Amino acid sequence: MTNNVYGIDLGTCNMKIYCKATNKILNEKNTIALVNKDQIYAYGDDAYAMYEKAPEEIQVTFPVAGGVIADLNNLQNMLQIYLEKNLKGKMRGAEFIVAVPTDITEVEKKAFFDIFYRSRLKPKSVLLCEKPIADAVGLGLDVNEPTGVMVVDIGADTTEISVISLGGLVLSDLLHAGGNRIDESIITYVKRKYNLVIGQKTAQGMKENLGSGIAGNKESMVVVGRDLVSGLPIEKEMTGEVVYEAIKDNLNTICNSIKMILEKTPPELAKDIIHSGIYITGGSSQIHDLDQLFTSITGIRINTCEEPEECVVRGLVKIVSDNKFRHLAYSMRSRILI
């Protein structure tokens, strides 16, 4: 098996690229800064630094929205530039395996396939894999066994709740609710309660530093926003209780969806899930005490992991490298020919 293999997880907020040869993960913001609508001015972390700060002639965009590709041409150009710059090895003839969300159309899946297959990188092959399955493999679970596994991936724009057994999805639900929706709730709550307008990045910082799944967080931080009454920028101290009140409805929505999937799960698989617990991954799964909230609602142990946002991309390379898991990936080209 060649080492010229790359696992790609194109998230709404971050893109994760795992190179098998170096055993390293490149984790970069999935953001593009454009001038004249189609000329790339900056990309990745550099473009994200311009978000909410760029002048009118520079448009900062996120080419993946709601888990699917919204701007194929610019994303393809950015990826080609980024890969050629950061992975100076032999890119031509490489094997790419790309994670795709559940519950999206064949046309949307084909966009993930085409962005590499029709690029100037000239890959040897492009394979796709369902994101929850790659997630489970990245967690070190053997999804080929006749054992039920539940994985909850809380991303930026979506939350995927899946029950996996025998290498396939038994049940899955794709919620259009994730970290970005939580950030928006914080912005709305702070504006309504304190007449203070804060930016997306400030709300994200409040979520990461003060966010909690249960009440009682006494920590605080100072944020800067624009006062609606005076119109002037001011500093204000925010506590963990403020953030909890802002995000609790979002977290309860995810909890209710987990309960709905559990109610539909066949009894024998439910027994396995109770025994092994529910696995939570994704960047927004790092909210403090989120596992305690889910356990209190479901009565089932919650398993967390280190670097939860990188589980999918680690699983992808394992799938394409290990013959035991290789059947979990498929080529869109063969589907098209059929």
Environment class of 329 (CB within 10 Å of its CB; exposed 0-12, middle 13-18, buried 19+): buried
Strand partners of residue 126: 96
Kind of pairing between the strands at 149-154 and 278-281: parallel
| Cβ partners under 8 Å of residue 168, min gap 6 | 133
The DSSP secondary-structure symbol of 63 reads S
pLDDT higher than threshold 90 for residue 190: yes
pLDDT at residue 192 in the model:
97
pTM to 2 decimal places = 0.92
pLDDT-above-70 percentage for the chain: 97
Strand partners of residue 130: 100
Backbone angles phi, psi at 156, to 5 degrees: -75, -45
> Domains (ranges, CATH) in the chain?
5-134+311-337 (3.30.420.40), 141-176+249-309 (3.30.420.40), 179-246 (3.90.640.10)
Are the C-beta atoms of 40 and 74 separated by less than 8 Å? Answer: yes
Kind of pairing between the strands at 125-130 and 95-100: parallel
**Separation of alpha carbons 312 and 165, rounded Å:** 17
Read off the pLDDT band of 3 (50, 70, 90).
confident
pLDDT digits (tens, 9 = 90+) for 131-151: 999 999 999 999 999 999 999
pLDDT digits (tens, 9 = 90+) for 234-266: 999 999 999 999 999 999 999 999 999 999 999
Q: What is the mean pLDDT of residues 71-95?
A: 85
**Separation of alpha carbons 178 and 176, rounded Å:** 7
pLDDT at residue 336 in the model:
45
Are the C-beta atoms of 50 and 37 separated by less than 8 Å? Answer: no
- In this structure, the number of other CB atoms found within 10 A of the CB of residue 37 comes to 8
pLDDT at residue 338 in the model:
36
